[in-house]
Amino acid sequence: MRTQAVNDARWIEFVRDPSFTNHKTDRWFIYAKGGGQLGHIQWYGAWRRYAFFPLGDTLFEATCLRDIATFLDGQMDQRRNAKKR
């Protein structure tokens, strides 16, 4: 079930997982606009940062990868800024 997109990119959309509420961090599903799920983003403790977990048999071009990287950087910035408060 899709909810409102958190941040739209050109070809993909990031949708916060509404069922992931009892965690310190968030999770977002990534969908192709007009298509299916491509993967998700969530906290990866071993690296101490958000990471992209693609679904099998998915394909990405440079624009999508840049949008995903930009989204990851933005979430890390928000996390750092929240910790400073």
Task: Render each residue's pLDDT in the chain as its tens digit; 85 residues.
Answer: 455 556 668 899 999 998 887 788 899 999 999 889 999 999 999 999 999 999 999 999 999 999 999 999 999 998 888 877 6
Task: From residue 1, give the alpha-carbon distance in Å to each of 27, 35, 36, 45, 75.
Answer: 14, 13, 11, 27, 22
Q: In the numeric block, which tokens belong to residue 13? A: 């959309």
**Could you give the CA distance from residue 61 to residue 77 in angstroms, rounded to a whole number?**
25
Q: In the numeric block, which tokens belong to residue 44? A: 């990866």
pLDDT of residue 1: 46
pLDDT of residue 23: 82
Rg (CA), the chain: 13
Chain position carrying tokens 């930009």 = 70
Residue 50: which region, alpha, beta or left (left: phi > 0; alpha: psi -120 to 50)?
Answer: beta
pLDDT of residue 6: 60
